[in-house]
């Protein structure tokens, strides 16, 4: 059951509360482009940033409305490709990418505060996907461009938000031009 739904574009904000009229979305989101839509979907198991970006390139600022970031936090990107996805919060940064020529090739470095880089095992779920982070292709074969209705799902690692920053910055590129 979804407890709150928030649809945001750079130009408009529409809030719909479903089951609990007193519930407020745990996040707010602002996209750079007017045609990018970001929905915040929340249920008892997870919070999802559902992003539809017709141009394929954009960035967004996500702010928490409560004392803590919800866990797990997923980002769904409705794009045909994902040659670059970046998330930064304070000093923590992650970068993910799928090759446009070979969807089985993906890179997942995490830049840590001391300037080093830690490789993030995408599919090691021993500690749960939200602890390690995960990047999946959903509702499409592992082939770029994705099939109609397919999307990328990024499970943001807990490490990214461990210092509880006030905001999270996201940017993405479907295909480099």
| Three-state DSSP state, 64 | strand
pTM over 0.85: no
| Three-state DSSP state, 11 | coil
* % of the chain surpassing 70 pLDDT: 68
Q: pLDDT tens-digit profile of 119-144? A: 444 433 334 444 456 777 888 887 78
More confident residue, 99 or 88: 88
Close Cβ partners of 117 (under 8 Å, ≥ 6 residues apart):
109, 110, 111
pLDDT-derived band at 92 (thresholds 50, 70, 90) equals confident
Close Cβ partners of 154 (under 8 Å, ≥ 6 residues apart):
74, 75, 76, 77, 85, 87, 96, 133, 134, 135
pLDDT at 73: 94
- Integer Cα distance of 75 and 49 in angstroms: 5
| Three-state DSSP state, 49 | strand
Q: pLDDT tens-digit profile of 40-58? A: 999 889 999 999 999 999 9
pLDDT at 3: 41
Q: pLDDT tens-digit profile of 156-175? A: 888 889 899 999 999 999 98
| Distance from chain centroid for Cα 52 | 11
More confident residue, 110 or 24: 24
Phi, psi of 161 (to 5 degrees): -110, 15
């Amino acid at each position: 059951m979804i407890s709150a739904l928030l649809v945001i574009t750079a130009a408009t904000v529409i809030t719909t509360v479903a089951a609990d009229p007193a519930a407020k979305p745990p996040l707010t989101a602002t996209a750079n482009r007017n045609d990018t839509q970001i929905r915040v979907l929340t249920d008892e198991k997870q919070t999802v940033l559902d992003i539809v970006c017709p141009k394929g390139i954009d960035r967004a600022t996500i702010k928490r409305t409560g004392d803590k970031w919800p866990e797990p936090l997923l980002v769904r990107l409705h794009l045909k490709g994902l040659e670059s996805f970046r998330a930064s919060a304070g000093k923590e940064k992650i970068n993910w990418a799928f090759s446009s020529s070979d969807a089985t090739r993906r890179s997942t470095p995490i830049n840590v505060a001391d300037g080093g880089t830690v490789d993030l095992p995408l599919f090691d779920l021993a500690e749960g996907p939200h602890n390690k982070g995960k990047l999946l292709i959903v509702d499409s074969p592992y082939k770029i461009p994705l099939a109609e209705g397919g999307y990328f799902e990024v499970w943001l690692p807990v490490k990214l938000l461990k210092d509880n920053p006030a905001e999270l910055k996201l940017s993405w590129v479907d295909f480099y031009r």
